[in-house]
């Protein structure tokens, strides 16, 4: 059975009515919020044992909690079809990471002339301690709306720093002469050049030269410092790369973008 989402019209809402939302504020939520907003202040910028930052967990997480008030207004009270026209939020304490928060809104006032309801807002931690208080003014719908619940897209964090420890272990080592097989996609070419810029490899780019240069130009990747070896297609590039390793011209192989549909690319 399909789950439905349904609003409450202005006439259905009573003064004193409440709605709550409970959310676990996880570290991934902090990083997602930072990635979406660009607000680095919410991240602990010095996570070392001797943390020198003013707020070890970051300082801007309160806005994440404040957004829960808007979520309640938009989905529960009044719900879909409502429009928030004003907000006042007071931040009392830093929002702790790793805790379960409860946001609650309570109808303080109804204004029939504009279909506006005034919501008192509060957010508490697991111990009941108040973290935020505030007020929303929301125009409530006059018409009943009921829709099937839509599944939200899943958000997956991709941390670009997950290999930094491994990369640091290579500091001071000589770069490996590496045969890069058919780097004919932006990701494949960028990966090889970034590895070269980190002094991990000295790449030899093997594939159709026109294709590689076109990909580099489109992706604005400078390949002028690197050797190109012509190959007719991806299989041919793989053969040349293996021959170079056997001949001692390369110490390692790196997969570019060889796949069946690229075999005839010239």
| pLDDT per position as a tens digit, 83-107 | 999 999 999 988 877 789 999 999 9
CA distance 57 to 96: 7
Together in a domain, 137 and 171:
no
The DSSP secondary-structure symbol of 64 reads H
Per-residue pLDDT of the chain (266 residues; tens, 9 = 90+): 678 889 999 999 999 999 999 998 787 887 887 788 887 766 655 555 555 554 555 555 778 888 999 999 999 999 999 999 999 999 998 887 778 999 999 999 999 999 999 999 999 999 999 999 999 999 999 999 998 888 888 887 776 666 777 778 888 899 999 999 999 999 999 999 999 998 999 999 999 999 999 999 999 999 999 999 999 999 999 999 999 999 999 999 999 986 544 443 33
Contact indicator for 59, 106 with CB cutoff of 8 Å: no
Q: Which two tokens stand for residue 73?
A: 């207004």
CATH number, residue 20: 3.10.129.10
Tokens 């006059």, located at residue: 142
Together in a domain, 53 and 111:
yes
CA distance 63 to 33: 9
CA distance 78 to 141: 7
The residue length of the chain stands at 266
Q: Is residue 155 part of a domain?
A: no
**Radius of gyration, CA atoms only, the chain:** 28
Together in a domain, 199 and 84:
no
Among residues 148, 173, 203, which one ends one of the domains? 148
Q: Is residue 174 part of a domain?
A: yes
CA distance 70 to 58: 23
Contact indicator for 32, 155 with CB cutoff of 8 Å: yes
Q: Is residue 78 part of a domain?
A: yes
Together in a domain, 125 and 52:
yes
Nearest CA among 159, 170, 161, 229 for reference residue 196: 170
Together in a domain, 125 and 178:
no
Q: Is residue 19 part of a domain?
A: yes
Helix H or strand E encompassing 217: helix 209-219
Together in a domain, 66 and 134:
yes
CATH number, residue 209: 3.40.50.10950
Together in a domain, 93 and 38:
yes
Together in a domain, 80 and 13:
yes
Among residues 102, 121, 148, which one ends one of the domains? 148
| pLDDT per position as a tens digit, 5-46 | 899 999 999 999 999 999 987 878 878 877 888 877 666 555
Q: How far apart, in Å, do the first and last CA atoms of the chain sit?
A: 53
Nearest CA among 222, 234, 229 for reference residue 204: 229
Q: Is residue 250 part of a domain?
A: yes
Contact indicator for 134, 124 with CB cutoff of 8 Å: no
Together in a domain, 142 and 168:
no
Together in a domain, 100 and 203:
no
Q: Domain range spanning residue 212?
A: 164-259
Among residues 148, 172, 193, which one ends one of the domains? 148
CA distance 118 to 89: 13
Q: Is residue 156 part of a domain?
A: no
CA distance 119 to 79: 13
Report the domain count for the chain: 2
Together in a domain, 122 and 179:
no
CA distance 238 to 167: 26
Ordered DSSP codes for 65-107: HHHHHHHHHHHTSS-TT-EEEEEEEEE-SPPPTTEEEEEEEEE
Q: Is residue 158 part of a domain?
A: no
Q: Is residue 237 part of a domain?
A: yes
Together in a domain, 101 and 188:
no
């Amino acid at each position: 059975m399909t789950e439905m989402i349904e609003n409450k019209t202005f006439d259905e809402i009573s003064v004193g009515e409440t709605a709550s939302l409970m959310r676990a504020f996880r570290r991934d939520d902090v990083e997602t919020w930072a990635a979406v907003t660009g607000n680095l202040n919410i991240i602990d910028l010095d996570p070392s044992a001797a943390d020198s930052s003013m707020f070890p967990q970051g300082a801007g997480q309160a806005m994440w909690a404040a957004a829960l008030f808007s979520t309640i207004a938009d989905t529960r009270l009044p719900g879909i079809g409502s429009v928030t026209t004003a907000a006042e939020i007071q931040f009392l304490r830093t929002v702790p990471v790793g805790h379960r928060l409860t946001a609650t809104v309570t109808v303080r006032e109804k204004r029939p002339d504009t279909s506006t309801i005034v919501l008192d807002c509060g957010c508490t931690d697991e111990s009941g301690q108040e973290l935020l208080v505030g007020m929303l003014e929301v125009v409530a719908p006059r018409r009943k709306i009921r829709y099937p619940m839509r599944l939200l897209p899943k958000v997956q964090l991709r941390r670009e720093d997950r290999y930094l420890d491994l990369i640091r272990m290579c500091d001071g080592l000589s770069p490996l002469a590496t045969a890069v097989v058919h780097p004919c996609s932006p990701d494949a070419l960028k990966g090889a050049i970034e590895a070269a810029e980190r002094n991990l490899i000295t790449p030899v780019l093997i594939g159709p030269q026109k294709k590689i240069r076109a990909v580099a130009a489109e992706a604005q990747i400078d390949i002028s410092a690197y050797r190109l070896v012509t190959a007719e297609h991806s299989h041919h590039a793989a053969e040349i790369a293996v021959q170079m390793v056997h001949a001692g011209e390369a110490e390692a192989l790196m997969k570019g973008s060889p796949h069946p549909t690229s075999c005839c690319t010239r």
